[in-house]
Structure 1
Amino acid sequence: MKTGAVSSQWYAFATVVLWSSAFVFTKVALLSFSSTALGFLRCAIASVVLYAVLRCKGVRMLNWRELPRFTLSGALGFSIYLFIFNKGSETLTAATGCILIATAPIITALMASVVFRERLTRLAWIALWLAFLGVLVLMLWNGSVSINAGVFWMLGAALAISAYNVIQRLYANGYTSLQITAYSFFTATVMLAGFLPESIRQIESAPLSHVIAVIFLGVFPSALAYLLWAKALSFAATTSDVTKFMFLTPLLSFVLGYVVISELPGVETWIGGALILSGLALFHISGQRAERARRAAMRH
């Protein structure tokens, strides 16, 4: 195996581990911090790290006239996303939350089919409905009267991050992925700045372990993970070489949830999760087939 391919897979695996840890350490941080305060602190810490990276790399900083175009991406990808993600994490296990967020690639493709007129294959539609069935299992396992509100919050988070993914494609011309991520974090921090006083009060009353969890979330699953992911993509021959590692996220969240906070998901997570992950696997296969067909057409 070539050195570049090995490097891309190590970077991708490290990214997935960090993203998986966010589901667990968010639950730890929420023991002392509100959803809004945690969202602000995570954005603020990530912004400091990413600003330092931009300065070290000598990357062009954002022109203030360009700020409005990153307001929407900052809101959907970080300020709104992190708030509703935190709300969902309050009542869901780390594994269940992770499985629901894992539907984002399918939702992104559905949005892209509308915005960019990209056709979904029959297999992709089957994958979509299979994942939707898994979501219904998670929502209605205890009966139609007892619907877990956390599922709605987490699905809202999946919708927000999917919309952010689509917007990233719209901004792709003229900006690197690092710039888009950093500028979106900057604008998200400004949007959530009203929660600074609340955040300070909660830091003062929180135990050190919970403060460390917040710092970890801002530095590692937020800033560092995005940098590693960009690095993985730069070494990979194809996007699927690294995106396949995202299928490990629910398993890693389950393991970390058990090790860190002794959390075990319920039966509905296993059944609904199996359906959702099966849908994701089918969707991945559909994407690979479409990519092979596109390359074959280009050769002819």
Structure 2
Amino acid sequence: MAQRIETVDKGAMAAAAVTVILWASAFVFIRSAGHAFSPGALALGRLLSGSIALIAIMVITGERFPPRSTWRAILISGVLWFGVYMVALNWGERHLDAGTAAMVINIGPVLIALLSGFFLAEGFPPRLMAGIAVSFTGAVIVGLSNSDGGSAAALGVLLCVLAAVCWAVSVVVQKPALTQASALQMTTGGCVVGTLACLPFSPQLITEATAAPITSTLSLIYLGVFPTALAFTTWAYALARTTAGKMGVTTYAVPALVILMSWLALGEVPTLLALLGGLFCLSGVAIARSGSTRPLPAPAVNPEASPAE
């Protein structure tokens, strides 16, 4: 039994590492593809590419539809995380550099802890409340660092905060559902729902795709196949095997990776004030997650879930 638990933990850690790296790369590729695609069109193209890849995997592996008891969670996470989140992030990165956007988004783990206190009865310890205050102070500082961009920069910060809220709500909703559905089922369902929610952007996608350079189109496809289809699946896989708080901890490395990647690929370096704001964001998350945490029981085994998950 002890050996089996150790193996599962290593698998969850590996899956989380894949998620962090691919999600970090997404911030850079969004900036690259954003020159040719508007926020809504980019979200639709990304989700459409991801849905095609995920459905193909489900067909090849013989994966079944998720049980009806998970459809509500899939609908909520699909609309918020795959739909609203991606449009808001794409839009926000039109006004912020990739590293700054990643630092604002990374208040998500604090929001996850806050929502868990409300809906999962985990309470509101003092460290959590202090962490929330510090993280939102960081978001304000990031906004001030882009004050020369006026209302556009402020809008970028607000859009990234909106994306973080959508992420947090979706994780809290998704966590219980993963006891009944596989990671592949949850991710495919959410991606398809997000695609349907973004269908109103179809005219823009068609128009912009015909004029987009091949590099931008390849960036869009990359976003759909890797940071979406693969990374969201590895996220769900790891989330099913650990607590939501611990999964939030794994995203702490994303802003640092994004800053490095955007500097190497795009030549973007955040200002010192933006870095200070990002430090506040990450410090707030660290404060909120410090101290002892109570482990949750392992997810129940669902007979309808794929054994190959």
TM-score class, shorter-chain normalisation, is: 0.7 to 0.9
1:167 corresponds, among 151, 173, 177, to 173
Partner amino acid for 2:38?
A: S
Superposed displacement of residue 196, structure 1: 2.2
1:291 corresponds, among 286, 289, 294, to 294
1:30 corresponds, among 34, 46, 66, to 34
Stretch deviating more after TM superposition (209-218 or 167-176): 167-176
Q: 2-side partners of 1:62 and 1:233: how far apart?
A: 17
Partner amino acid for 1:275?
A: F
Residue in 2 that maps onto 1:298: none
**Contact 1:140–1:146 under 8 Å retained in 2:** no
Residue in 1 that maps onto 2:126: 122
Q: 1-side partners of 2:149 and 2:211: how far apart?
A: 38
Instruction: Determine whether 1:252 maps to 2:287.
Output: no
1:155 corresponds, among 148, 154, 161, to 161
**Contact 1:22–1:221 under 8 Å retained in 2:** yes
- Give TM-score, length-normalised by structure 2: 0.84
Superposed displacement of residue 281, structure 1: 1.4
Instruction: Determine whether 1:218 maps to 2:224.
Output: yes
**Contact 1:123–1:283 under 8 Å retained in 2:** yes
Q: Any unmatched runs of 5+ in structure 1? A: 296-300
Stretch deviating more after TM superposition (12-21 or 48-57): 48-57
Partner amino acid for 2:84?
A: I
Partner amino acid for 1:23?
A: F
Q: 2-side partners of 1:283 and 1:68: how far apart?
A: 29
Residue in 2 that maps onto 1:267: 272
Superposed displacement of residue 136, structure 1: 1.6
Residue in 1 that maps onto 2:79: 75
**Contact 1:8–1:242 under 8 Å retained in 2:** no
**Contact 2:183–2:237 under 8 Å retained in 1:** no
Stretch deviating more after TM superposition (201-210 or 6-15): 6-15
Superposed displacement of residue 131, structure 1: 0.8
Q: 2-side partners of 1:74 and 1:54: how far apart?
A: 17
Residue in 1 that maps onto 2:13: 9
Q: Any unmatched runs of 5+ in structure 2? A: 298-309
Q: 1-side partners of 2:10 and 2:177: how far apart?
A: 30
- Partner of 2:122: helix, strand, or coil? coil
- Partner of 2:294: helix, strand, or coil? helix
Instruction: Determine whether 1:106 maps to 2:110.
Output: yes
Superposed displacement of residue 133, structure 1: 1.3
Partner amino acid for 2:294?
A: E
Residue in 2 that maps onto 1:131: 135
Stretch deviating more after TM superposition (134-143 or 214-223): 134-143
Summarize the alignment of residues 84-95 of structure 1 with structure 2, pairs less than 5 Å apart.
84-95=88-99
Q: 1-side partners of 2:149 and 2:62: how far apart?
A: 56
Residue in 2 that maps onto 1:203: 209
Superposed displacement of residue 185, structure 1: 1.0
Q: 2-side partners of 1:18 and 1:100: how far apart?
A: 18
Superposed displacement of residue 176, structure 1: 2.6
Q: 1:262 to 1:175 in 2, by over 3 A?
A: same
Partner amino acid for 2:213?
A: P
Superposed displacement of residue 74, structure 1: 1.4
1:181 corresponds, among 165, 182, 187, to 187
Partner amino acid for 1:93?
A: D
Q: 1:223 to 1:276 in 2, by over 3 A?
A: same
Higher helix share: 1
Report percent identity of matched pairs: 27
Residue in 1 that maps onto 2:25: 21
Partner amino acid for 1:14?
A: V
Q: 2-side partners of 1:119 and 1:56: how far apart?
A: 43
Superposed displacement of residue 95, structure 1: 0.8
- Partner of 1:175: helix, strand, or coil? coil
Q: 1:227 to 1:237 in 2, by over 3 A?
A: closer
Deviations 1:79-120 (A, max 9, x none): 111111111010111111111111111112212222233202
Partner amino acid for 1:186?
A: V
**Aligned positions, number:** 291
Instruction: Determine whether 1:55 maps to 2:54.
Output: no
Q: 1:155 to 1:243 in 2, by over 3 A?
A: closer
Stretch deviating more after TM superposition (239-248 or 164-173): 239-248
**Contact 2:73–2:174 under 8 Å retained in 1:** no
